[in-house]
Amino acid sequence: MASESPRRPSRCAGGVLVRAQAATEQSYMESVVTFLQDVVPQAYTGAPLTDEKEKVIWVRFEKADLNDTARNPEFIEMHSGTSDPPLCLMIGYTDGMQIWSVSLAGEAQELFSVRHGPVRAARILPAPHISPLKMDSFADKRPLLGVCKSAGSSGTSPPYCCADLYSLRTGEMVKSIQFKTPVNDLHCNKHILVVSLQEKIAAFDSCTFTKKFFVTSCYPCPGPCLNPIALGSRWLAYAENKLIRCHQSRGGACGDSAQSYAATVINAAKTLKTGLTMVGKVVTQLAGTLPAGTPDEEGTPHCVSRRSPHNPGVVTIIDTNSVGEGQVLVSEDSDGEGVVAHFPAHDKPISCMQFNPSGMLLVTADTLGHDFHVFQILTHPWSSSQSAVHHLYTLHRGETEAKVQDMCFSQDSRWVAISTLRGTTHVFPINPYGGTPCARTHMSQRVVNRMSRFQKSAGLEDIEQELNKAAGLGGGAGGGIGGSSCILGGGGGVGGRCSPIPGLSSSPSGSPLHGRA
């Protein structure tokens, strides 16, 4: 009996199971044939006009409770004792979305599938933080999936104006949250579910999904993210429409860096093009082919921005645990309850923001996509005006404008990756505490604090070198004046470093900065 083809998906109790297969590279002729089949209209070949391939809109790896080994210890037994969890892959199509669990062996297990129109945003909600005063109303339905699709549950609401919550355990929809304006994106942590609208932010409790607070003073962005926000484990950062001096934190970015010669030439060419366009419109208007009341498409936004009292590039960070219920308002008359930082970040509107895993660093991007600023947030318990915002880095990408699609920190916050709609991803080395990145800070397995020199002052580097040397030589016999048994297995003498715990020095006398006897 012939074995089943790995390309053919098989049905199981949990959904479709796709087996692993070896990646094959097409030859030159096969690539040409595939290209012609995709480009040449099928009407010329006489074949029926059918499209068997589904168009993928977006793809994202999701980190959730599904692939968390702390909550699912059976993953360790399933993968031969390794602690590597499976990958959770989310794929959005033109008519729906799918969630797949990809094991280390390469097999993909379908976990969830919905086909009711295109999906704009989807997030797997983490298990909520349960306090003594609250109860989880959806404990028997979790894990939950938040989806924003084109058609709502009722079918009569406008497209993308609702956030539906599905149970990944039962597959049913457990709640639908309706809005009057389209939803831009979904964000979540263990405390709240944040729905980003075009010019508004709404936060809901993660246990009951009742409205907790909302923000209406957002500064919109042309795209691709119309209302950029960043959500950490506790803080929420968004683009404010105005800078309030009484709430302004100390620090921030007063202005972007000067442009290079190439950027100046590019801007001069754009200015020349705009001037020639205006001259052409005037000549056309005098000739009588263009009505006098035709608005200037390129000049109108600039004129409006000059008269607008709003300031672009302002960031406000609020504490989602201490902010009050209702509207969050940052104004001269408000006391700024829950506001931990309020500062200028760019001269242009902000297009994207992201926190690092610890939530102490924030990277921002503007609409031009040239410079990206990294800030360290040091809050004050009294007010946001006493908080300090340290501008650590200005990361430069290039001279051409680009729209930032996504940004991400590494787990140790030593690298920042920024992706643009031009199809490029830029990776920058940084230090969580600032300073110039070098081989010492980025070639080590741990974050090295160059300013305090803790590794040298504690003697950890010498201990590691002696441990490696002792492992190679097999140890030696000890002796000498004041000798004692050391962790190296060798001898002591005066000034010998001893410690009951491997890898730690017993006293500051073991530091290379102190004299040896």
Domains and CATH numbers, the chain: 52-213 (2.130.10.10), 217-265+311-448 (no CATH)
pLDDT confidence of 18, banded at 50, 70, 90? confident
- Taking the C-alpha atoms of residue 344 and residue 243, their distance in angstroms, rounded to an integer, is 7
Q: For residue 137, is pLDDT > 90?
A: no
- Condensed to tens digits (0 to 9), the pLDDT of residues 192-250 reads 999 999 889 999 999 999 999 999 999 989 878 999 999 999 999 999 999 999 999 99
In the three-class reduction of DSSP (H, G, I as helix; E, B as strand; rest coil), residue 515 is classed as coil
Decide: 227 and 198 in contact? Cβ < 8 Å: yes
- Condensed to tens digits (0 to 9), the pLDDT of residues 372-414 reads 999 999 999 899 999 999 999 999 998 889 999 999 999 999 9
Residue 192: closest CA among 173, 213, 176, 175: 213
Q: Which residue has the higher pLDDT, 21 or 490?
A: 21
Q: For residue 191, is pLDDT > 70?
A: yes
Decide: 17 and 108 in contact? Cβ < 8 Å: yes
- pLDDT reported for residue 266: 47
* Percent of the chain whose predicted confidence (pLDDT) is above 90: 39
**Which two structure tokens, joined as six digits, stand for 217?**
């003073």
Tell me which DSSP letter residue 255 carries: S
Q: What angle do CA 393, 235, 88 make, to 5 degrees?
A: 90
Q: For residue 293, is pLDDT > 80?
A: no
Q: What mean pLDDT, rounded, does the chain reach? A: 76
Decide: 184 and 225 in contact? Cβ < 8 Å: yes
Q: For residue 265, is pLDDT > 50?
A: no
Q: What is the pTM of this model?
A: 0.72
DSSP bridge partners of 428: 416
Q: What is the mean pLDDT of residues 77-100?
A: 77
- Taking the C-alpha atoms of residue 337 and residue 352, their distance in angstroms, rounded to an integer, is 25
Q: Which residue has the higher pLDDT, 88 or 258?
A: 88
**Which two structure tokens, joined as six digits, stand for 26?**
């097409």
Tell me which DSSP letter residue 129 carries: P
Decide: 201 and 229 in contact? Cβ < 8 Å: yes
**Which two structure tokens, joined as six digits, stand for 189?**
């942590």
Q: How far is CA 33 from the centre of its chain?
A: 39
- pLDDT reported for residue 77: 53
- pLDDT reported for residue 470: 73
Q: Which residue has the higher pLDDT, 495 or 45?
A: 45
pLDDT confidence of 40, banded at 50, 70, 90? low
DSSP bridge partners of 235: 319
Q: What is the mean pLDDT of residues 432-437?
A: 89
Q: Which residue has the higher pLDDT, 46 or 400?
A: 400
Residue 217: closest CA among 242, 198, 195, 235: 242
Q: Which of 155-159, 325-329, 349-353 has the highest mean pLDDT?
A: 349-353
Q: What is the mean pLDDT of residues 441-466?
A: 70
